[in-house]
C-alpha cells in the first residue's frame, strides 16, 4: 500500500509492481499529480557539487534514471530533452560553475561562453554558463500517469488516509468511514502530511510554498530553444505556454496564486533575459491577470530526501542510548524497525530527479536487492538519520 500519488508515490508503486507486488495507491484527490507534482512543466535541474557529496551523487544517478523513464513518454508533448542552460549570473555562481566544469564529464555538462549560450538558447542572454545537453523539461503529471499504468497497480482516488495502525503484522489505514486498506507493507509518499500520520517519528519535514506563472507563447518567444535558469527558470513552450518559476515562500499556508509572486516571477524572467522578457511583452503583462499555480515543496534540513525503512523512535532512543554518552560506540543491538513501513519524501525542488530513483531504492530495500545507489548515498537518505543525530547531539 502506498499513500500519495505524486511523483514519489507513483514511482514507488511502479518499482514495486515491476517486481510483482500488488499495489494499492491511495490518493486524496481525484487523480495523480494534483499537488507539488502537478505543474505544467518542471525542469531537470541538476544542482551539483564539485565535491562528490552524497546529494550530488544522488542527483547524477537520479538524473540518469529519470531520463531513461522519460523515453517512454511522448517527446515534445510530455517532455523535451532541449538542454538546460544555467547562467553564470554573478561572480560566485561563475566560480562555482568553473569548479563543476572540471569535476564532471562534458557529456553531462560543459561551460559555454555568452555567444555560444545565445546560439543554443536562441535568445539574447546576459552571460554564458553551464549547458546540460541531456536535461530539459518534463510535464510531471504525464510521468506520474505513465508510472501507474501497470496491471498490478490499483489507483484509489478520493481516499484520504487519516490514521495508521498495525494489527496482526499488517498496516491498516483508516479514512473517514473506516478502514481503507490493510497490507503487510506501507509506503508513505504523502510529502509533509507524513508528519500528521506519523507524529511520533518526528521527521523534520518542512513545507515551502512555491508558485509558477504561465506565460502565453508567441512567435518571437517560441524561438527559445532550451530551458534557461538563473535564480528562476523559464522553459520553451508546451501547449502554447512557457512555464516561469518559481517563487519561494517559507511562511504562507495559502495555495491561492498571489499577484505579488507573479510579479516576482516576472522579475526572475528579466534577470534571465531582458530580450525574452521583451519578446513576451512582460512590461505590459499585468501580474493580476496571469495564470499560475501554487503548491508546497517538502524539504528536509539537510536537503536530502528521506527514503527507506523507519525505526520506532522511542525504542530506537532506548536501544542506542549509549550513543548519547559516546558516539563512537557501535552497539550490537538490532534496529527496532517499524516492520513493513517505508518513507519516500522530502524531495524539495528536485523531485523530478530524486523521486523516481527513490522508488527503486525502496523496492531494493524491500527485496534485499543490491541498492541502486552507493551505500553511503542510501545511508545519507535514510529516515533514521534524524533520530540518530538527535541521540548523538543530545538535543
Q: How far apart are CA 247 and CA 229, in angstroms?
A: 13
Residue whose CB is less far from ligand FAD, 164 or 392: 164
Residue 34 binds ligand FAD (CB under 6 A) = yes
Kindly identify the residues of this chain, within the stretch 97-116, that bind ligand FAD according to CB under 6 A. Answer: none
Q: Take residue 331 and report the three cell numbers written for it.
A: 552497539
For residue 60, which phi and psi values (nearest 5 degrees)?
-65, -45
Residue from 15, 24, 39, 258 touching ligand FAD (CB under 6 A): that is 39
Kindly identify the residues of this chain, within the stretch 116-175, that bind ligand FAD according to CB under 6 A. Answer: 160-161
> Per-residue x/- marks for ligand FAD, 205-234, CB under 6 A?
-----xxx----------------------
Q: Output the smallest distance, CB 84 to ligand FAD, in A.
A: 10
Beta bridge partner(s), residue 294: 211
Residue 238 binds ligand FAD (CB under 6 A) = no
Residue from 221, 226, 345, 384 touching ligand FAD (CB under 6 A): that is 345
Residue from 70, 189, 280, 338 touching ligand FAD (CB under 6 A): that is 189
Residue whose CB is less far from ligand FAD, 63 or 320: 63
Residue from 1, 2, 9, 135 touching ligand FAD (CB under 6 A): that is 9
Q: How far apart are CA 181 and CA 211, in angstroms?
A: 34
Span near ligand FAD by CB under 6 A; candidates 40-48, 82-90, 217-225, 278-286: 40-48
Quick one: how far is CA 128 from the chain centroid? 27
Q: How far apart are CA 133 and CA 227, in angstroms?
A: 10
Cβ density class 294-314: b for 16+ within 10 Å, e for less: bbbbbbbebebbbbbbbbbbe
Q: Output the smallest distance, CB 66 to ligand FAD, in A.
A: 9
Q: Output the smallest distance, CB 334 to ligand FAD, in A.
A: 30
Q: How far apart are CA 125 and CA 326, in angstroms?
A: 55
Residue from 13, 143, 353, 362 touching ligand FAD (CB under 6 A): that is 353
Q: Output the smallest distance, CB 160 to ligand FAD, in A.
A: 4
Q: Output the smallest distance, CB 244 to ligand FAD, in A.
A: 10
Total residues contacting ligand FAD (rule CB under 6 A)? 42
> Per-residue x/- marks for ligand FAD, 250-269, CB under 6 A?
--------------------
Residue whose CB is less far from ligand FAD, 8 or 88: 8
Cβ(79)–Cβ(29) below 8 Å: no
> Per-residue x/- marks for ligand FAD, 41-80, CB under 6 A?
-xx-x-----------------------------------
Residue 350 binds ligand FAD (CB under 6 A) = yes
Give the footprint of ligand FAD on this chain (CB under 6 A). 3-9, 26-29, 34-37, 39, 42-43, 45, 160-161, 189-191, 193, 210-212, 245-246, 295, 297-298, 345, 347-353, 355
Amino acid at each position: 500500500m502506498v499513500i500519495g500519488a505524486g511523483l514519489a508515490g507513483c514511482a514507488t508503486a511502479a518499482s514495486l509492481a515491476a517486481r510483482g507486488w500488488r499495489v494499492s495507491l491511495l490518493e486524496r484527490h481525484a487523480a495523480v499529480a494534483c499537488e507539488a507534482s502537478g505543474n505544467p512543466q518542471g525542469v531537470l535541474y541538476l544542482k551539483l557539487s564539485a565535491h562528490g557529496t552524497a546529494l550530488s551523487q544522488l542527483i547524477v544517478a537520479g538524473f540518469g534514471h529519470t531520463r531513461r523513464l522519460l523515453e517512454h513518454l511522448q517527446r515534445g508533448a510530455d517532455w523535451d530533452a532541449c538542454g538546460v542552460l544555467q547562467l553564470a549570473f554573478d561572480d560566485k555562481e561563475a566560480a562555482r560553475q568553473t569548479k563543476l566544469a572540471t569535476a564532471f564529464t562534458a557529456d553531462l555538462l560543459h561551460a559555454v561562453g555568452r555567444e555560444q549560450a545565445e546560439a543554443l538558447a536562441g535568445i539574447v542572454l546576459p552571460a554564458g554558463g553551464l549547458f546540460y545537453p541531456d536535461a530539459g523539461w518534463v510535464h510531471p503529471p504525464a510521468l506520474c500517469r505513465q508510472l501507474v499504468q501497470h496491471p498490478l497497480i490499483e489507483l484509489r482516488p478520493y481516499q484520504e488516509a487519516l490514521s495508521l495502525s498495525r494489527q496482526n503484522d499488517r498496516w491498516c489505514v483508516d479514512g473517514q468511514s473506516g478502514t481503507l486498506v490493510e497490507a503487510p507493507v506501507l509506503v508513505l509518499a504523502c510529502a509533509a502530511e507524513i508528519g500528521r500520520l506519523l507524529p511520533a517519528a518526528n521527521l523534520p519535514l518542512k513545507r515551502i510554498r512555491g508558485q509558477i506563472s504561465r506565460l502565453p507563447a508567441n512567435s518571437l518567444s517560441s524561438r527559445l530553444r532550451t530551458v534557461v535558469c538563473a535564480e528562476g527558470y523559464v522553459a520553451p513552450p508546451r501547449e502554447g505556454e512557457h512555464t516561469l518559476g518559481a517563487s519561494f515562500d517559507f511562511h504562507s499556508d495559502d495555495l491561492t496564486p498571489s499577484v505579488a509572486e507573479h510579479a516576482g516571477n516576472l522579475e526572475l524572467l528579466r534577470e534571465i533575459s531582458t530580450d525574452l522578457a521583451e519578446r513576451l511583452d512582460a512590461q505590459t503583462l499585468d501580474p493580476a491577470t496571469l495564470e499560475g499555480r501554487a503548491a508546497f515543496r517538502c524539504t528536509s534540513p539537510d536537503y536530502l530526501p528521506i527514503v527507506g525503512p523507519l525505526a520506532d523512535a522511542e525504542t530506537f532512543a532506548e536501544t542506542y542510548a549509549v550513543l548519547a554518552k559516546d558516539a563512537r560506540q557501535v552497539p550490537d543491538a538490532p534496529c527496532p524497525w517499524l516492520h513493513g513501513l517505508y518513507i519516500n519524501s522530502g524531495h524539495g525542488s528536485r523531485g523530478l530527479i530524486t523521486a523516481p530513483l527513490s522508488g527503486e531504492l525502496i523496492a531494493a530495500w524491500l527485496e534485499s536487492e543490491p541498492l541502486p545507489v552507493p551505500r553511503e548515498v542510501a545511508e545519507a537518505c535514510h529516515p533514521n538519520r534524524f533520530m540518530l543525530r538527535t541521540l548523538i547531539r543530545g538535543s
